[in-house]
Chains A and B, each alone.
Chain A
C-alpha cells in the first residue's frame, strides 16, 4: 500500500482524482531537482529516487485498471488466468467484427463507443466488488477488463490509421 501512503490516500478502489493530482503536484515540487542544487550528492540521489517513485505511484493510482491490479497485488491476490468461456466467444466476435470492418470508420467508431460504455459499466461493477471486499471476484474480472481496455486502444489506433 506504499503508493497510497505516499499520496496520503486511503487505500481503496474509488479515489478522488483531484486529491491525487493535487498531492502529486505538491510532492513533485518538494522533490524537484532545483530544490537540491546545493545539497549533498546523497540528498540529490535520494530526491531523485523519491521523485521517480512519485511518478510511478501517480501512473498506477490514476489509472483504474492499474490501481485495481495494484490493490489486488498488495492484498496478495494472485492474478489467475481463469477465463469465462462466454467472454471468449465475445472476444472472438469483437475481433471478427474489427477484421471484417477494418476499413469502415463509422463501424469501428460504433464498436469503440460500445466498448467504452461496456468498460465504464464493468469498472462500476469492479468498484462494487472492491467495496464489498470481494477481492477474488474482482481479480476474476480483471482479465476481461484488461482485454476490453487493450481492445479499445486497438480500435482507436485503427480509427487513426483510416483517417
Chain B
C-alpha cells in the first residue's frame, strides 16, 4: 500500500504541530485515540473574538495517515465558525488525502477529534 503524495507531504511537513493553553477559556481540547492501534491524537482550537477559529494545533502519534489527517484538519479549521467546523465529515478528509479503505479510520479519528475539541470549548462557556 502506497501513501498518496498529499499524505506524504503532511507527514513530512506537518502543519500546526504544537499545543495551545488548555486552560484558556477560548481554547477547546479534543483527545481521541485507538490505543490498541497505537494512535493518539490531540487537537486544540482557539476561538477568536469574532466567533471564528483563529488557531488550531495538533499532536499525533500514530501512522502517517493519522498524522496527515490531523495536520490537514488544523488547516481546514482556521477561519471557520464552530458550526462549520462541526460539519466537517471524515469523508472530506479521506477524499482530500486519497486515503485507502484500510486507513479510513484515521479520518474518522480526526473527525472525532474536532467534535471533542468543540465539546470541550462549549463546556467552558
Q: Which residues of B contact A144 (CB under 8 A)?
A: 35
Evaluate contact between B61 and A147: CB separation under 8 angstroms: no
Complexed CA–CA distance, A2 and B36 (Å):
25
A143: Cβ under 8 A from any B Cβ? yes
A50: Cβ under 8 A from any B Cβ? no
Tell which of A85, A89, A95, A142 touches B61, judged by Cβ atoms closer than 8 Å: A95
Interfacial residues of chain A within 100-147, with CB under 8 A of chain B in the complex: 142-144, 146-147
Tell which of A89, A95, A143, A151 touches B34, judged by Cβ atoms closer than 8 Å: A143
Interface string of B29-41 (1 = CB under 8 A from A): 0011111101010
Interfacial residues of chain A within 48-100, with CB under 8 A of chain B in the complex: 81, 83, 85, 87-89, 91-92, 95
Tell which of B35, B38, B42 touches A83, judged by Cβ atoms closer than 8 Å: B35
Complexed CA–CA distance, A81 and B33 (Å):
9
Residue in chain B with minimal CB distance to A95: B61
Evaluate contact between A95 and B35: CB separation under 8 angstroms: no
Evaluate contact between A150 and B38: CB separation under 8 angstroms: yes
Evaluate contact between A95 and B40: CB separation under 8 angstroms: yes
Residues of A within 8 A of B (CB): 81, 83, 85, 87-89, 91-92, 95, 142-144, 146-147, 150-151
Sample of 13 A–B contacts (CB below 8 Å): A81-B34, A83-B33, A88-B33, A88-B40, A91-B33, A92-B31, A92-B40, A92-B61, A95-B61, A143-B34, A144-B35, A146-B35, A146-B36
